Amino acid sequence: MSAALVPPPSPPPLVVWSRAVAAASLLGLIVLGVAWELWLAPTGRGTLALKVLPLAFCVIGVLKYRMKTYRWLSLLVWLYAAEGAVRATSDRGGGVPYAVAEVLLCLLLFAACAAHIRWRLRGAQPA
């Protein structure tokens, strides 16, 4: 049989699970960021909604199992966690619940990315 006809091996269930959690938390973080700045607790003219643009670039890489995307997303997410922590501890506006949700989504996204990277590297090592 030709190598072109052989389908690629399916990823292990833990890798599939970590990708699903990472994708869901990433999309949740994007939706929360846009909704927060435009409708829920706007801080100005809505230009802060552009802060989720770097996260939007990650969606395709996460869905296509690109290891590079998982690696740098696990670092990028800490900027959003820091923003959420700062906004959760400030008393301005009514955005504290949204800030806490942002921090929780960031923690979930980081854990999913770290697990995905670890399980993929463990699966790539020769026995």
Give residue-wise pLDDT tens across range 40-86.
877 778 788 899 999 999 999 999 999 999 999 999 999 999 999 99
pLDDT surpassing 60 at residue 127:
no
- Domain assignment of residue 117, given as a range: 13-124
For residue 40, is it within any domain? Answer: yes
Burial 60-95, CB ≥16 within 10 A → b, else e: ebbeeeeeebbeebbebbeebbebbeebbeeeeeeb
For residue 96, is it within any domain? Answer: yes
Q: What pLDDT does residue 2 have?
A: 58
For residue 2, is it within any domain? Answer: no
For residue 84, is it within any domain? Answer: yes
Looking at the chain, the whole-number percentage of residues with pLDDT higher than 90 is 63
Count: domains in the chain: 1
Q: What pLDDT does residue 6 have?
A: 75
* pLDDT, average across residues 86-102: 87
Length of the chain: 127
